[in-house]
């Protein structure tokens, strides 16, 4: 019996683990990638109903005079307030998941072999229930901190604070169907990604 023409894969992992690199490698092989965080940002900027809901929940300062999302203000509101963060996620996540369902329908029409859902909060948002398999990308904590401090220009303490909002590496591994260790060269990573892609898309 042939597998479904469209396979879906959730990709997650701790900050700095290399999720985006893995997704770019999958794209090069023929997968289509749905970047949940980018879609969330676009919806918060463009979806009228979501914009109104955010204004009502967090105040008119959530958007600037020019109508743009005030990311700094919102981040300050939710970063140290778990209830505010939960409230924001409750507004945004359902709309992102609905957008993924539309992406799945389009990928089926386009006969894409693999649709990837990349999300830092894959399990927390419930998005893992929408995909056939889950891949967790792993890297040592010290290496992840080094990557993010260089990439984002922030302190190691700020990186560790962000890590507190994510599931532990042990819990991610426990929930994963596949794990890729991003600890070597790009070529080693590419080999692991190619093996997984062939496994998921083999007829």
The predicted pLDDT at position 170 comes to 92
Confidence of residue 5 (pLDDT cuts 50, 70, 90): confident
pLDDT in tens, 103-128: 999 999 999 999 999 999 999 889 99
What's the pTM? 0.89
Q: How high is the mean pLDDT of the chain?
A: 92
When mean pLDDT is compared across 43-57, 65-79, 106-120, the lowest value belongs to: 65-79
Q: With pLDDT > 70 as the criterion, what percentage of the chain qualifies?
A: 98
Higher pLDDT, 191 or 78: 191
The proportion of the chain whose per-residue pLDDT surpasses 90, expressed as a percent, equals 78
CA torsion sign for 102, 175, 190, 38 is positive
The single-letter DSSP state of residue 159 is H
pLDDT value, residue 161? 82
Q: How confident is the model over 188-198, as a mean pLDDT?
A: 96
Could you please state the CATH topology (level 3) that the domain comprising 7-201 is classified under.
Answer: Rossmann fold (3.40.50)
Domain ranges of the chain: 7-201
Q: How confident is the model at residue 164 (pLDDT cuts 50, 70, 90)?
A: confident
Q: With cut-offs at 50, 70 and 90, classify the pLDDT of residue 2.
A: very low
State yes or no: pLDDT of 52 exceeds 90: yes
């Amino acid at each position: 019996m042939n597998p479904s023409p469209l396979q879906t894969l959730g990709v997650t992992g701790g900050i700095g683990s290399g999720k985006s690199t893995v997704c770019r490698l999958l794209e090069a092989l023929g997968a289509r990638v749905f970047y949940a965080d980018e879609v969330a940002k676009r919806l918060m900027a463009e979806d009228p109903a979501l914009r109104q809901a955010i204004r009502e929940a967090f105040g008119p300062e959530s958007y600037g005079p020019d109508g743009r999302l005030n990311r700094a203000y919102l981040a300050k509101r939710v970063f140290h307030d778990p209830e505010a963060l939960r409230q924001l996620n409750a507004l945004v996540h359902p709309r992102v998941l609905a957008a993924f369902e539309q992406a799945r329908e389009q990928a089926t029409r386009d006969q894409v072999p693999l649709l990837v859902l990349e999300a830092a909060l894959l399990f927390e948002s419930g998005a893992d229930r929408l995909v056939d398999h889950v891949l967790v990308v792993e890297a040592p904590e010290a290496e992840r901190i080094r990557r993010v401090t260089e990439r984002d220009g922030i302190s190691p303490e700020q990186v560790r604070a962000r890590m507190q909002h994510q599931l532990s590496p042990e819990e991610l591994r426990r929930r994963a169907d596949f794990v890729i260790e991003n600890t070597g060269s790009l070529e080693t990573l590419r080999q692991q990604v190619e093996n997984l892609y062939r496994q998921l898309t083999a007829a």
